[in-house]
Amino acid sequence: MKALKIIGLIILVLAAIFGIAAGGYALANSNNKTSNNTSNTDNNSNSNSNSNTPSKTASATTCNADELDLETAPSDQAGAGTLALNIVLKNIGTRSCTLGGYPGVSLVNDNGNQIGSPADRTTNATENTYTLAIGDSVTSTVFYPEESNFDAGVCTDGATKLRVYPPNDTGYISIAETAITAWCPGFKSSPVFQ
């Protein structure tokens, strides 16, 4: 009788051990499947994010960032306490394309980190759309307040480049710029014009 109890106890212990092992195996397999699915999703999202075609919100005729050259030029639009700089977007692509509205403009440092907030849009400005033949360009004016007009800590220093998103495009172009070294409140951009 004692021997049967011991054998029964051994069987229960072995069943428990095998049950735990089988459960652990099933859990490990389910974790591997989840992990494989995640890495496939990551690979798919990486391949999409490396696409050379930016996501568009406008028509197919809109100029892409990779079809444009960016230059800066002095502007005569400065006012009291505010300086101005023109950004020029030139069609260097292989087709005519259109640009109209406001570009997105940000200040960044050498590491590509944004300094301050993106430029606000100027108010009471007319938005026009322009067809750019190869070699044609449009201009937008960036207005930036003088840092010396603000108390310490209001502006953010460290800007070394302008990052410009052409109107209706999520791609961008960057250019080194020494005129604007700090973001201050009142940083604005105008719609493109010719």
Task: Tell me which amino acid residue 67 is.
Answer: E
Percent of the chain predicted with pLDDT > 90? 68
Provide, rounded to the nearest whole percent, the portion of the chain with pLDDT above 70.
70
At residue 113, what are phi and psi to the nearest 5 degrees? Answer: -80, 135
Are 91 and 28 found together in one domain? no
**Most confidently modeled range among 40-49, 53-62, 156-165:** 156-165
**CA-wise closest residue to 118 among 102, 137, 130, 139:** 102
pLDDT value, residue 56: 46
Structural domain count of the chain: 2
**More confident of the two residues 19 and 132:** 132
- Domain of 107 in residue numbering reads as 65-189
Tens digit of each residue's pLDDT (9 = 90 or more) over 94-151:
999 999 999 999 999 999 999 999 999 999 999 999 999 999 999 999 999 999 999 9
Q: Which residue has the higher pLDDT, 8 or 114?
A: 114
Residues 87 and 161 in one domain: yes
- Residue 57 is predicted with a pLDDT of 52
Q: Report yes or no: 63 and 134 within 8 Å, Cβ to Cβ.
A: no
- Give a yes or no: residue 57 inside a domain: no
Reported as a pLDDT band with limits 50, 70 and 90, residue 5 is low
- Say yes or no: 79 and 42 in one domain: no
158 class by beta-carbon count within 10 Å (0-12 exposed, 13-18 middle, 19+ buried): middle
Strand pairing class (173-176; 161-165): antiparallel
Residues 160 and 98 in one domain: yes
- Side chain identity at residue 68, one-letter code: L
